[in-house]
């Protein structure tokens, strides 16, 4: 199947997403990746990958959640197409899959945050019908 999207469920499937995920989250290390993902799964985190010729080329980390401002929605924590696989429709295929999943799960919206430096990603999101609806603020907490 062309541009097949698969949810990563087994340890091996999750580990196979690491090379692409690391391009978005360079602070991650392979040694701790599986353990971190498994821990996050306890709060509803899931990973899916667009697979081409047996390799993950686009990866999304996401969860279905509900809150007062957004109702029931699918939140995309992570979305990245591998550097060598961009502009081939993989990101669009993933967003379509996530949207279909959100519909099946009774979600009213799809949400994602994107770093301010990711202008290419922003053009893609706007082209795919997402809108800029908020500013995201954060504060570092030093231990």
Mean pLDDT along residues 101-125: 92
Q: What does each C-alpha distance from 133 to 50, 53, 111, 112, 118 come to in angstroms?
A: 27, 37, 9, 10, 17
Q: What is the mean pLDDT of residues 6-22?
A: 97
Ranked by mean pLDDT, the top range of 31-35, 65-69, 124-128 is 31-35
Per-domain boundaries in the chain: 4-127
Tell which wins on pLDDT, 33 or 137.
Answer: 33
pLDDT at 138 over 90: no
pLDDT of residue 1: 47
* CATH superfamily of this structure's domain 4-127: Gcn5-related N-acetyltransferase (GNAT) (3.40.630.30)
Q: 4-7 and 55-67: which strand pairing?
A: unpaired
pTM of structure: 0.91
């Amino acid at each position: 199947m062309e541009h097949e999207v698969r949810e990563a469920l087994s340890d091996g499937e999750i580990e196979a997403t690491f090379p692409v995920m690391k391009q978005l989250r360079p602070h991650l290390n392979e040694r701790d990746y599986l353990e971190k993902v498994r821990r996050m799964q306890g709060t509803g985190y899931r990973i899916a990958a667009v697979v081409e010729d047996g390799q993950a080329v686009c990866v999304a980390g996401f969860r279905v959640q509900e809150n007062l401002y957004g109702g029931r929605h699918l939140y995309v924590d992570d979305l990245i197409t591998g550097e060598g696989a961009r502009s081939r429709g993989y990101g669009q295929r993933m967003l379509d899959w996530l949207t279909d999943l959100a519909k099946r799960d009774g979600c009213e919206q799809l949400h994602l945050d994107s770093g301010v430096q990711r202008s290419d990603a922003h053009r893609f999101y706007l082209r795919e019908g997402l809108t800029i609806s908020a500013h995201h603020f954060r504060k570092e907490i030093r231990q």
